[in-house]
Amino acid sequence: MAGNSKARQRKAKESVANGKDAGISSSDARNDAVSGSSAGAPFWVVLVLLFIIVILLSYVSYPNIASLLRHTDSVQSKREITSESEAHKHPMKSASDAVKKDVSLSNEIEEMEEEAQEIQPEEQETIKLEMTPETKSKTKEVKLIPESKKKDKNVKKKPEKSEKKKSSKKQDASNEIEDFKASYLKEMSPKKIFVDGRRLPPVELLPQKPNNSSVKVFLYDEFLSKEECEGLMKAHDRHVEEMTKKDPIVCFDSINTLRRHLKANKKKVNVTPLDFTPGTTCVNKTFSSQLKNWLKQNWSYSTAFYPGESRFSKVFEYRVKEATALTPVNGGKFQITSYPEGIGYKTHTDCREDDEKRDRMATILVYLQDVEEGGETKFPELGIWAKPRKGRALVWNNMNKDGNCEPLSIHNAAKVVKGHKYILQRWYYYKNFYSLGKRPPEPHLPEREPGTPRVSCDEYDHGSCRWYDEWNYDHILEYQRQKMTLQ
């Protein structure tokens, strides 16, 4: 570095002497030389030369500041490259989404990766190799732009520059939606893999109850390393801590669920549909804050990050693909959930028993830490259960090969009796769709301050309330009525 800067100084001095373009000071040297020659007066030439010398001297005296600036530039351009490639992946992303990303879990994950990078350099290498084909396919996406430009030519009145950009972006997005070809994921096939010298064989958990379902449950111990688990938990905790500074808005699947929660907490409050924010299944801000105390925050906490938002997402999906043949393009968001003591999760299937093929074919769930007592994942119809162990992955199919939801895949999270449970989950879809794995736009209702979390209480039993760091459309009545189809 020191040698380089000396060489630069020498070069810069030479460039001034020769009046030539050289090194980092080239533009200064060139500009000054040009203005000097056009003036033609020797007094100005001397003045300009003096000016150059002063600039060069100040540069020479502060090499650290200069190199610092260069460093900032390179960091800046790296950021730009990242966000640009993200923009290709998320063409519908708005500016507010970009701002929102600043407070998203991805930032925390990125920090965790920086630490992890020091620990696992070899693994980072493997991932880079894996990313190459995707980068190529991104270039293909970019090639869509000229097509939309061709269409723009038909427009008679020339739109303003920014308008033109906006409309061509819109056009690109709609082209991409139209051109989207769904990939089907019909089964998983678990096999042994090696990660960082760890041998990871799948262990099938055999049903203890006779059944005729296609559901298979596998377990991999040490699927994630201790460092990966700890990094994810830390990122989740920091994010939850930040976001719980604001009280959440609480939503219910029905007024009955709200009544049951109030009754269980010995609150004699009469509630009517008028207590809900119009158009939604959520109660207003004041009532929500009251409920937070009344319900004693009896919920689990879920935070989400999306594919492509962090290196870890690549690391993880690559490992999952190698181990199970579950393909990254069929994967949705990543969700980290933590359960405080006394909290579990209702019995449910991860798929819906309707004809929807764009549904969750398989689930991978990784326990990020041991739980002293309770917190098992249980499949009551199969007689299968698994205990939380740091790094242990549980993977199962929720749908059969024909894309029908298997009712016997029902499962629940037993209440944590002692300890604190953390899991990472990702769902893989039978038929993927354009918006799968992309951070979704947020609904405008209920009106709320930016960064307000939500709590969703789906049913009373088994402590089914869950706090979320992001919003979807489940609580919007119109959405429920129309069963709006996602792109």
Ligand X SMILES: O=C(O)CCC(=O)C(=O)O
Q: What residues line the site for Fe ion (CB under 5 A)?
A: 350
Cβ contacts of 369 within 8 Å, gap of 6 or more: 229, 233, 388, 390, 419, 420, 421, 422
Q: Which is nearer to Fe ion, 20 or 462 (CB)?
A: 462
Alpha carbons 330 and 362: distance in angstroms, whole number:
10
- Amino acid, single-letter form, for residue 436: L
| Contact mark string toward ligand X, 72..111, x via CB under 6 A | ----------------------------------------
Q: Is 219 in the site for ligand X (CB under 6 A)?
A: no
Segment holding 373, helix H or strand E: strand 373-374
From ligand X, Fe ion, none, interface partner of 413 (C-beta below 5 to 8 A by class) = ligand X
Binding mask 418-457 for ligand X (x = CB under 6 A): -----x-x--------------------------------
- Asked if 458 interacts with ligand X (CB under 6 A), we say no
Residue 112 interaction partner, one of ligand X, Fe ion, none, beta carbon < 5-8 Å per kind: none
Smallest distance from the beta carbon of 84 to ligand X, in angstroms? 34
Going by C-beta distance under 8 Å and a sequence separation of 6 or more, which residues neighbour residue 444?
none
Which one, 227 or 474, has the nearer CB to Fe ion?
A: 474
**90 binds, options ligand X, Fe ion, none, Cβ within 5 to 8 A by partner type:** none
By CB under 6 A, residue 305 contacts ligand X: no
Nearest to 351, CA basis, from 432, 427, 280: 427
**Residue ranges of the alpha helices (H) in 403-487?**
477-482
CA distance 468 to 104: 12
Structure tokens at 117: 């990078």
Q: Does 416 bind ligand X (CB under 6 A)?
A: no
CA distance 415 to 299: 11
> In this structure, what is the dihedral angle of CA atoms 329, 335, 336, 342, given to the nearest 10 degrees?
-140
Return d(Cα 439, Cα 109) in angstroms, integer.
Answer: 16
Minimum distance from residue 106 beta carbon to ligand X (Å)? 20
Quick one: DSSP state of residue 157? S
Distance of closest approach, residue 423 Cβ to ligand X, in angstroms: 5
Is 22 or 351 the residue whose CB approaches Fe ion more closely?
Answer: 351
CA distances from 147 to 142, 180, 220, 248 (A): 10, 16, 46, 45
Asked whether position 230 contacts ligand X by CB under 6 A, the answer is no
Pick from Fe ion, ligand X, none: which does 377 bind, CB < 5 to 8 A by kind? ligand X
Q: How far is the CB of 154 from Fe ion (least distance, A)?
A: 49
d(CA 56, CA 113): 40
The binder of ligand X chosen from 413, 436, 445, 455 (CB under 6 A): 413
| Element of type H or E holding 237 | helix 226-243
Can you say how many angstroms the Cα of residue 155 is from the centroid of all Cα atoms in its chain? 37
- Residue 287 or residue 379: which is nearer to Fe ion going by CB? 379
Residue 468: CB minimum distance to ligand X, A: 11
Cβ partners under 8 Å of residue 133, min gap 6: none
Least distance from ligand X to the Cβ atom of residue 465, Å: 12
Taking CB under 6 A as the criterion, the residue among 309, 350, 381, 458 binding ligand X is 350
Identify the residue among 305, 345, 433, 468 touching ligand X (CB under 6 A).
Answer: 345
Report 358-397 residues binding ligand X (CB under 6 A).
365, 377
Q: Which residues bind ligand X (CB under 6 A)?
A: 337, 345, 350, 365, 377, 411, 413, 423, 425
